[in-house]
């Protein structure tokens, strides 16, 4: 029997999951399950690089798990776990810190962005975030790491670490490939189409979360920025009409229609008809996910059994890699 390839990805529970989280990673993940041996996790260790309210962090971590399942991740067919439950992440993270260079870490655009946004809390964890992320990845020896465009630089850094580490110690880590899904990969803020729809930016009025009420969703879409040209027609032109392009992207993902079909559907109708139509399509797309999330969240025993089993399975795989690493670098076996 041919062995399945391995795939891994995670999301920080640093904010409520948004429409961007769904159309970006989440709705691609279930499709990978049949083909790959998949590991999906809630990156809570990463979340604390920015100050979190403890009660919110706990709630979001569990809610995120329920949402993973509601979006189609069957826990019997993949491994879903909480990052902090698998202690090997923090351990390998430390080791890899010693194989990541100061200069390299200094060049990370996410570090620069987040330092600018959290000027009163530029902590060491924010700086060494990519070494921990490299550990998340390399522990499971994955072939593929699906990430958003903004995380590609971190995967590149993980690849540099693999080269450096394997160069000294032989073939310890498998070289991971970043995988950036094309369609719907990057949903932008509804009020600022130049910025990604973020789950953690406080006061971002341009986002829709997965659990928003239908009337909130409709309001957000009616307020969405379109563009300032005088043409006022629905046409796919990301360069000159980024707001409209973003809405078209969302509508296309929610309905399965092509950009051509959408242009024809709204020909001569203007934005006044287009924006609420996008809102309605999103409400319909999210309705079953919201219902299922609420149903799963009500069953705490089930959720606990999922994350316990996930941590056990992940731990076994992670431990194999960590043992090898410890041995190679010269730690005494206990």
Q: Does 147 bind ligand TRP (CB under 6 A)?
A: yes
Beta-bridge partner residues of 81: 41
Q: Which two tokens stand for residue 172?
A: 């310890």
199 annotated active-site: yes
User: Is the C-alpha dihedral spanning 156, 160, 166, 172 positive or negative?
Assistant: negative
| Tokens 């070289």 belong to residue | 175
Among residues 12, 199, 241, 275, which one is catalytic?
199
Query: Which candidate, 307, 291, 254, 221, places its Cα nearest to that of 13?
Result: 307
Closer residue to ligand TRP, CB minimum distance, 12 or 235: 12
Print the binding letters for residues 84-123 with ligand TRP: x by CB under 6 A, - otherwise: ----------------------------------------
CB of 255 to ligand TRP, least distance (A): 27
Q: Which two tokens stand for residue 164?
A: 């450096």
From 80, 133, 218, 248, residue interacting with ligand TRP (rule: CB under 6 A): 133
Choose one: 5-13, 63-71, 209-217, 294-302; the region binding ligand TRP (CB under 6 A).
5-13
Query: Which candidate, 42, 52, 44, 49, places its Cα nearest to that of 21?
Result: 42
The set of residues, in sequence order, having a beta carbon less than 8 Å from that of 34 and lying 6+ positions away, is: 77
Q: Does 12 bind ligand TRP (CB under 6 A)?
A: yes
Q: Does 137 bind ligand TRP (CB under 6 A)?
A: yes
Q: Does 16 bind ligand TRP (CB under 6 A)?
A: no
What is the pairing mode between strands 79-82 and 144-146? unpaired
Q: Does 157 bind ligand TRP (CB under 6 A)?
A: no
| Tokens 């069957």 belong to residue | 74
333 class by beta-carbon count within 10 Å (0-12 exposed, 13-18 middle, 19+ buried): exposed
- Measured from the Cβ of residue 186, the count of other Cβ atoms closer than 10 Å reads 17
Among residues 196, 241, 313, 327, which one is catalytic?
196
User: Is the C-alpha dihedral spanning 241, 247, 249, 255 positive or negative?
Assistant: negative
Among residues 5, 112, 114, 241, which one is catalytic?
114
CB of 148 to ligand TRP, least distance (A): 6
From 32, 43, 234, 252, residue interacting with ligand TRP (rule: CB under 6 A): 43
Q: Does 184 bind ligand TRP (CB under 6 A)?
A: no
Q: How far apart are CA 251 and CA 60, in angstroms?
A: 27
From 9, 88, 131, 293, residue interacting with ligand TRP (rule: CB under 6 A): 9
From 7, 10, 47, 97, residue interacting with ligand TRP (rule: CB under 6 A): 10
Q: Which two tokens stand for residue 326?
A: 């410890």
From 7, 11, 139, 262, residue interacting with ligand TRP (rule: CB under 6 A): 11
Could you write out the three-class secondary structure of 120-131? CCCCHHHHHHHH
CB of 317 to ligand TRP, least distance (A): 14
Choose one: 117-125, 133-141, 183-191, 260-268; the region binding ligand TRP (CB under 6 A).
133-141
SS3 state at 145: strand
Query: What residues between 46 and 75 interact with ligand TRP by CB under 6 A?
Result: 46
Closer residue to ligand TRP, CB minimum distance, 147 or 208: 147
Active site residues: 114, 196, 199
Which residues form the interface with ligand TRP (CB under 6 A)? Answer: 8-12, 43, 46, 133, 136-137, 145, 147, 151
């Amino acid at each position: 029997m041919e062995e399945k390839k391995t795939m891994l990805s995670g999301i920080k529970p640093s904010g409520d999951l948004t429409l961007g989280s769904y159309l970006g990673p989440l709705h691609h993940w279930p499709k990978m399950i049949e083909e790959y041996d998949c590991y999906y996790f809630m990156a809570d260790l990463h979340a604390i690089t920015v100050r979190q309210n403890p009660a919110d962090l706990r709630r979001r971590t569990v809610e995120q798990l329920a949402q993973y399942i509601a979006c189609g991740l069957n826990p019997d067919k993949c491994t879903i776990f909480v990052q902090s439950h698998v202690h090997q992440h923090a351990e390998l993270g430390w080791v890899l810190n010693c194989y990541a260079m100061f200069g390299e870490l200094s060049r990370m655009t996410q570090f620069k962005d987040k330092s600018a946004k959290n000027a009163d809390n530029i902590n060491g964890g924010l700086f060494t975030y990519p070494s921990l992320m490299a550990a998340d990845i390399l522990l499971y020896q994955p072939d593929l790491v699906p990430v958003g465009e903004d995380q590609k630089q971190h995967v590149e850094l993980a690849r540099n670490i693999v080269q450096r580490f394997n160069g000294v110690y032989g073939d310890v880590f498998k070289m991971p490939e970043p995988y950036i899904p094309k369609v719907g990969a990057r949903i932008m803020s509804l009020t600022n189409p130049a910025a990604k729809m973020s789950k953690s930016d406080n006061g971002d009025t341009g986002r829709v979360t997965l659990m928003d009420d239908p009337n909130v969703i409709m309001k957000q879409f009616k307020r969405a920025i379109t563009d300032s040209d005088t043409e006022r027609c629905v046409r796919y032109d990301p360069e000159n009409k980024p707001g409209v392009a973003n809405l078209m992207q969302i509508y296309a993902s929610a309905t399965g229609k092509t950009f051509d079909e959408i242009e024809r559907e709204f020909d001569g109708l203007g934005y006044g008809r287009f924006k609420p139509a996008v809102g309605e399509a999103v409400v319909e797309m999210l309705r079953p996910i919201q219902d299922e999330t609420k149903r799963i969240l009500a069953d705490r025993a089930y959720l606990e059994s999922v994350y316990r089993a996930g941590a056990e399975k992940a731990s076994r795989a992670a431990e194999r890699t960590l043992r090898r690493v410890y041995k190679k670098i010269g730690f005494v076996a206990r």
